[in-house]
Amino acid sequence: MNAAAAVRIIGAAQRRCAQTLGRPALLPVSSSAVQFCLQSTQPVPAARLPYRVKVSAGKRYAWCACGHSKKQPFCDGAHRTDAPSISPVRFTLDKDRTLMLCACKQTKNAPYCDGSHLKVIFQDIVKSVKGIFK
Same domain, 34 and 48: no
Same domain, 109 and 55: yes
Q: For the chain, how many structural domains are there in total?
A: 2
Residue 30: the pLDDT is 39
Residue 27: the pLDDT is 39
Same domain, 18 and 51: no
Distances (CA, A) of 123 to 62, 66, 109, 117, 119: 28, 20, 20, 10, 6
Predicted TM-score (pTM) of the model is 0.67
Task: Centre a 10 Å sphere on the Cβ of residue 72 and count the other Cβ atoms it contains.
Answer: 18
Domain that holds residue 109: 44-132
Same domain, 69 and 125: yes
Same domain, 5 and 71: no
- Reported as type and span, the H/E element at residue 92 is strand 89-92
* pLDDT, tens digit only, all 134 positions of the chain: 555 554 455 555 445 544 444 433 333 443 334 444 456 789 999 999 999 999 999 999 999 999 999 999 999 999 999 999 999 999 999 999 999 999 999 999 999 999 999 998 998 899 889 888 87
